[in-house]
Chains A and B, each alone.
Chain A
Amino acid sequence: MSAKFETRDIVVPGDLLFEGRARAGDNTYRNEGNIYATRVGLANYNKDRVSVIALEAGFIPLVGDLVIGMVTDIELGQWKVDIGAENEAILTTNDAIGKPFRSYQDMTKILDVGDTIVAKIVDLDRRRTPILSIMGRDLGKARDGFLIDITPSKIPRLIGKKGSMINMILKETRCQVTIGQNGKILISGRNRENEELVVKVIKKIEAEAHTSGLTNRIQEYLKDIKEQRK
């Protein structure tokens, strides 16, 4: 019955985290009564649960997630969308235009292969294939902006506590930022300069996601750049 690391220690897969009885939380597995890590991350010991806060992780689609994806294929009455999950997501005409598919419809006029869309996961089917919808406010085809990729596990960090981080960035740069839970981020602003600034800041957040005092540091970083411009 003992912890093998301190909370917030960095661990790699296979590290023995805990000997004895405890609940195995996220990114851990149990073998012969002991708990081991399965991902690189920070060890986290709670009262009766041992887990690892992942620093690198893939995207696991959940119902309600906002995602940004690319249309990869058109089938009869549905589009295939790559959202970076293990299976390609499906978007049906019902969820795209609110009408069932009719054979006279030209689907490429609604969405074509290569289009980037902002969508919501409305369901997972029995094979865990995500079902998307673009019916709703701010959903649909993305027309303009920068699209960047970060590790999905760092999305919460980018948003910050109650949105503190992202709200700060929005205020400072006056850009519109759409964050997909799958690690894809769409940035569009008034001018290219501001967009590039947001890209720079997000890359910085990704690189330093595991360090403390990040929100303040980013704020100072933004101010520095702004002063340089003046």
Chain B
Amino acid sequence: MSKSKAKGKTKTKRKSRKKKFERVDGRKADELRPVKIETGVIPNADGSAYIEMGRNKIIAGVYGPREMHPKRLSKPHRGVLRVRYHMAPFSVDPRRSPAPSRRDTEIGMVMTDALEPALFLERYPRSVIDVYVEIIQADGGTRCASVNAAAVALVDAGIPMKDLVASCAAGKMEDHIVLDLGDYEDKKGQADVPVAYMPKLEEVTLLQMDGILTTDETVEAVELAIEGCKQVYEVQREALKKKYGMDEEDAAEDAEETEELGEEPAESEEEDK
């Protein structure tokens, strides 16, 4: 990913700002691409999620906590989170080799670090939580979309979490700070700042920067990205609730019988007739 060098002259920047700035896909500078999340898409996984963020199409599956193999990698005092990021050969043009690349390994590590603060790994000594993320179609900002899908899949797997993790990038395109860069903006833009954020705890768990930004611009980009994360968070919430076909009202109506869920598990029944 080559970034064209930033034009450091502030005067030219001022001028260009007066011109009407338009993004390639006609979005506003602080507008996200349409986000759609679905949970429980892989029946054999403990938890799963599918996300469409613009033209990104990503599927995430969670397995565990389960016994770790190879055993020597497990930790005696806490669990391990393992994220595998992988791009399908047909996800980009031209075709990409399916073998894990240096970039895949790095993004897997970055995602691990982004998701770990939300988990209670100390509760799972000697175990592992595996997250598999498969990019079916890539359109810029896959690491952010992957973090979003993985966080939802973790919740769907019933793994206790401190908070959801929402993620979104901001960047600089034609001297403007813009939100959620698409593929074209990612490649032609001057900078890209992916941020992952825990909205309720107000903590940033991932912050990277590719390209050149001034100090002020960096602050602006990060703040914009956090705003984007908050919007993504709302979509994540809706996706999780949608599985139970429930709006806030329906939930309140529920009474009586749901109490059974809270009861102590009774002895299992066995009868022969």
Query: Chain A residues in contact with chain B, CB under 8 A?
Result: 6, 8-10, 12-16, 27, 29, 31, 36, 38-40, 42, 44, 51, 53-58, 66, 86-88, 127, 138, 151, 153-157, 159-163, 166-167, 170-171, 174, 176-181, 209-215
Contact = CB atoms under 8 A, between A and B. Distances in A.
Contact of A56 (B126, B156, B253): B156
Contact of A12 (B64, B67, B155): B155
B164 A159 contact: no
Contacts of A8: 251-252, 254-255, 258
B161 to A, nearest CB: 4
A163 B155 contact: no
B252 A6 contact: yes
A121 to B, nearest CB: 12
Given A10-B246, A170-B269, A177-B270, A42 B251 contact: yes
Contacts of A180: 268
B174 interface: no
A174 B257 CA distance: 25
A-B complex: 3 closest residue pairs judged by Cβ atoms:
A14-B163, A56-B158, A38-B160
Contacts of B257: 212-215
B79 to A, nearest CB: 8
Given A14-B163, A177-B269, A58 B198 contact: no
B120 A54 contact: no
B67 A39 contact: no
B136 interface: no
27 contacts: A6-B251, A8-B251, A12-B155, A12-B236, A12-B240, A13-B163, A14-B161, A14-B164, A14-B200, A36-B163, A36-B200, A39-B155, A40-B240, A40-B241, A56-B47, A56-B156, A58-B157, A87-B126, A155-B265, A156-B261, A156-B266, A171-B273, A176-B270, A211-B254, A212-B254, A213-B257, A215-B257
